[in-house]
């Protein structure tokens, strides 16, 4: 390990995630740990590791008064902030099991998780969250305490109390508690193809080993600043954007939110970021729309810069020849590429993309503009990182090579199988699902089809489980949504789309018996095929779908539709003899319509 990396804490030195935190406080007490924005002062401020440790001790004293036992579950539903870390470390330092929740999740879904995990204590952002959640709670819930982070004038009900009143004025020092690294640290709920979410059980060693493995692929220094905006309930952000920076001694700045992300990048000037493809799609689309207004010369220079930068990258990776045009790169970088880099703060060394597949077109543009964009792959069930590209060995068409300690192989049906220290302990209270995912030899079945090159690069080629992964990383089971749509008898058939896209769309076959009545309601000619493209009709159908899908998460809403009166049949080779829709053939049949929905 190089001299500049001697401050990295190894898993065996940390032991547990709480041990990792205590070791970092010991090594770097006065180094900035977290950068936060104060809405009161309208400014950013830093807290040191020692200051964080002081607050962790305060929270531990407060938690100790709640009569909780080691192994009890406590949940957190908070946007990214230093309090997330303080609660997490305070809880783990008392032997409690942390259950992270998504801030935007539906109250009934949160209520299910709280009941399934038998959560005793819950930490919420504000009183409004509690008001939305409380009606969904039943006598089967055993919540003893609800802590509200943001103080306001609302009177609280039930077991809820504001953190300001709950925390002690005087407190002691960090607890000495420790446990075996392989013991349960957290239960993270992930949605499956059908039914309720499953609780993925991860140990301290699961997440420590993965964070350490990722550090073998790229360097992180104490001088680095991460910009954190993916929810900490997302396992990628938690492992790579929270525990990994502790391991390396880097600083984490918490973005105010996605709407302010561009401004925060300018202010914070981060050197590392972890993102999902949706972020790059937004920047890419913004660049493309701005190019439209530029002169022919400006457009040409931009295209030349991106193309030359990509060719230069390929040469550096050993996949292309040197070209005389590379001599122009310093000038083109200064004129064009640096302008894009400045929009991201001007100090970016590495951007990690994960959670969903990144479009090759978008990847090629960012890399061509001189940005080190690395794509990885993993599952919540693997803590989550399985593979990674590195700056010196980066094939954007792949998801990289397996991190140290992780073995991968291609099994039956070309399924990617994984065995390594990040593999989960199992699903909480669900032995059947655990046995279906991890076989008797310890191989975890990813559900993704893949091929592995001779030099170890993994290429995801398909999906065994029929799950759509949106560009923001959210996973959507189309079959469940299609079944819900068909509850309305105006729809005869439905096919939900959205793989790698920012939103869902649907191909809908209208029932001929209902079409003319629907057309009449909108003042349309039912015999005119063009009526199916009427904008008001489409808006009405989208609203109808919203009501049908109200039980699904917000990201599972249908935003665009294509309407047709021609059913998919066995005769057209669009259905099987057992009346199952042939998705690839229907998609190919309607490709032009699909292109319009995502244009």
pLDDT 10s digits, 191-201:
643 457 899 99
Q: What is 1-8+205-412+451-466's CATH number?
A: 3.40.50.12780
pLDDT along the chain (599 residues), means of 10: 65 97 98 96 97 98 96 97 98 98 84 96 96 94 96 90 95 91 96 68 98 94 96 94 98 95 96 88 81 92 97 97 96 95 95 85 93 95 97 96 97 95 97 95 94 96 78 82 83 92 95 90 92 94 92 88 91 67 89 94
Q: Which of 268, 325, 257, 336 is nearest to 298 (CA)?
A: 336
CB 239 within 8 A of CB 385: yes
Report helix angle 296-316 to 360-368, nearest 10.
90
**Angular region, 405: left φ>0, alpha ψ -120 to 50, beta rest:** left
Q: What is the pLDDT of residue 191?
A: 63
For CATH 3.40.50.12780, list the domain ranges present in the chain: 1-8+205-412+451-466
Distance CA 532, CA 527 (A): 10
Structurally, at CATH architecture level, domain 477-597 sits in 2-Layer Sandwich (3.30)
CB 175 within 8 A of CB 60: yes
For CATH 3.30.300.30, list the domain ranges present in the chain: 477-597
Distance CA 251, CA 265 (A): 15
Query: How many residues comprise the chain?
Result: 599
Q: What is the pLDDT of residue 1?
A: 39
Distance CA 11, CA 278 (A): 32
pTM of the full structure = 0.82
Distance CA 580, CA 478 (A): 14
- Which 3 state secondary structure label does DSSP give 441? coil
Q: What is the pLDDT of residue 277?
A: 82
Q: What is the pLDDT of residue 570?
A: 67
Angle at CA of residue 435, ends 434 and 437, nearest 5°: 65
Q: Which residues fall within 8 angstroms of residue 6, CB to CB, at 6 or more apart?
A: none
385-427 confidence digits (pLDDT tens): 999 999 999 999 999 999 999 999 999 989 999 999 999 999 9
């Amino acid at each position: 390990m190089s001299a500049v990396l001697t401050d990295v804490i190894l898993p065996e030195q940390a032991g547990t995630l709480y041990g990792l935190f205590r070791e970092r406080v010991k090594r770097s007490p006065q180094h900035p740990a977290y950068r936060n924005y104060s809405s009161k002062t309208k400014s950013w401020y830093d807290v040191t590791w020692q200051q964080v440790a002081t607050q962790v001790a305060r929270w531990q004293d407060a938690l100790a008064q709640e009569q909780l036992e080691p192994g009890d579950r406590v949940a957190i539903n908070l946007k990214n902030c230093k309090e997330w870390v303080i609660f997490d470390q305070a809880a783990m330092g008392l032997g409690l099991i942390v259950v992270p929740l998504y801030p935007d999740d539906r109250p009934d879904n949160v209520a299910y998780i709280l009941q399934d995990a038998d959560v005793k204590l819950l930490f919420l952002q504000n009183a409004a969250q509690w008001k939305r959640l409380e009606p969904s709670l039943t006598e089967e819930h055993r919540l003893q305490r609800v802590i509200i982070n943001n103080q306001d004038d609302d009177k609280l009900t039930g077991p809820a109390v504001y953190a300001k009143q709950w925390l002690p004025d005087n407190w002691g020092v960090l607890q000495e508690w420790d446990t075996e690294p392989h013991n349960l640290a957290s239960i993270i709920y992930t949605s499956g193809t059908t039914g309720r979410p499953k609780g993925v059980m991860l140990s301290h060693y699961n997440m420590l080993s993965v964070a350490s493995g990722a550090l073998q692929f790229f360097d992180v220094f104490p001088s680095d600043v991460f910009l954190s905006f993916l929810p900490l309930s997302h396992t990628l952000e938690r492992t790579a954007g929270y525990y990994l920076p502790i391991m390396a001694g880097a600083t984490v700045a918490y973005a105010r939110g996605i709407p302010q992300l561009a401004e925060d990048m300018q202010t914070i000037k981060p050197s590392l970021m972890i993102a999902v493809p949706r972020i790059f799609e937004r920047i890419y689309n913004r660049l493309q729309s701005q190019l439209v207004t530029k002169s022919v010369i400006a457009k040409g220079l931009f295209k030349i810069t991106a193309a030359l930068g990509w060719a230069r990258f390929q040469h550096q990776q050993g996949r292309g020849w040197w070209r005389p045009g590379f001599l122009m790169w310093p000038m083109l970088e200064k004129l064009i590429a640096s302008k894009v880099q400045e929009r991201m703060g001007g100090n970016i060394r590495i951007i990690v993309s994960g959670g969903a597949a990144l479009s090759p077109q978008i990847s090629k543009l960012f890399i061509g503009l001189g940005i080190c964009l690395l794509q990885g792959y993993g599952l919540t069930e693997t803590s989550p990182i399985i593979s990674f590209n590195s700056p010196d060995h980066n094939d954007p068409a792949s998801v990289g090579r397996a991190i140290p300690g992780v073995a991968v192989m291609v099994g039956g049906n070309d399924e990617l199988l994984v065995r390594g220290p990040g593999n989960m302990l199992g699903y909480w209270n669900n032995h059947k699902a655990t046995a279906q995912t991890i076989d008797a030899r310890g191989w975890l079945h990813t559900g993704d089809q893949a091929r592995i090159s001779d030099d170890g690069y993994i290429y995801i080629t398909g999906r065994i489980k029929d799950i759509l992964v949106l560009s923001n990383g959210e996973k959507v089971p189309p079959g469940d949504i299609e079944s819900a749509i068909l509850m309305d008898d105006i729809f005869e058939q439905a096919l939900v789309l959205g793989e790698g896209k920012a939103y869902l769309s649907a191909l809908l076959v209208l029932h001929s018996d209902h079409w003319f009545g629907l057309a009449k309601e909108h003042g349309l000619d039912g015999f005119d095929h063009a009526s199916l493209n009427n904008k008001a009709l489409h808006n009405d159908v989208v609203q109808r779908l919203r009501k049908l899908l109200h039980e699904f998460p917000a990201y599972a809403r249908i935003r665009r539709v294509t309407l047709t009166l021609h059913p998919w049949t066995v005769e057209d080779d669009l259905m099987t003899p057992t009346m199952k829709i042939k998705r690839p053939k229907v998609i190919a049949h309607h490709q032009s319509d699909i292109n319009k929905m995502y244009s």
